[in-house]
Amino acid sequence: MKTSASAVVFSCSMLLCCASPRTVQPVVPTTPLVEPEGLTVDARQLVARMPLTVIVFFSRECHCLNQHDERLRALYDAYHARGVQIVMVDPEVRSSVEADATEARRRGYPFPILLDPHGRLADALGAEYATYSVVVDAQGRVRYHGGIDSDKTHLRDSATLYLKNALDDLLAGRDPRQPEAKTLGCALETW
């Protein structure tokens, strides 16, 4: 029985559509990130600074992330004094330290946007979309990963606040009630 080239292409494309999602490393890897001042910090050293670190993957052009700016600033206000640092990480190919610093000021972020050269941290943590969030403890262990909440672009009071719930649970000494959630955001254009 002969197999046509188009049948082979179709079969391969169907396999790709059914591929399992990216895996998430259970621990933040040693990988360089560039701070707004141009200094390089290792991701493992960054998360060791505070009891909990929230990493939110950033895309300047993502309308979903734009809608969540207010919620992210509110999370910072509510949790920073309780030992939680928030950082945005930009793994996109057309990013620069200067553009990210300008964007952080424009958005009124009280937290930095760090550059992820070559998207290494994004790849290790399974980030495919802007708004993808990861909560990491001071030992570098991933405790939560997924969306900020159940909203995409229209924020509702009835949304499930995945990230906030995970922080509340961890600060209370419990494992997150939902350690993984769906991410609703724009596809990252990584390296």
From first to last of its 191 residues, what are the pLDDT tens digits of the chain? 444 444 433 333 333 333 334 678 899 999 999 999 999 999 999 999 999 999 999 999 999 999 999 999 999 999 999 999 999 999 999 999 999 999 999 999 999 999 999 999 999 999 999 999 999 999 999 999 999 999 887 788 899 999 999 999 999 999 999 999 999 999 999 86
Q: Within 10 Å of residue 189's Cβ, how many Cβ atoms?
A: 14
Integer Cα distance of 48 and 30 in angstroms: 12
Output the six-digit token pair for 63. Answer: 């309308």
For 24-171, CATH gives 3.40.30.10
Crossing angle (nearest 10°) for helices 63-79 and 162-171: 20
User: pTM (2 decimals)?
Assistant: 0.86
Can you give the residue ranges of every domain in the chain? 24-171
Integer Cα distance of 171 and 161 in angstroms: 15
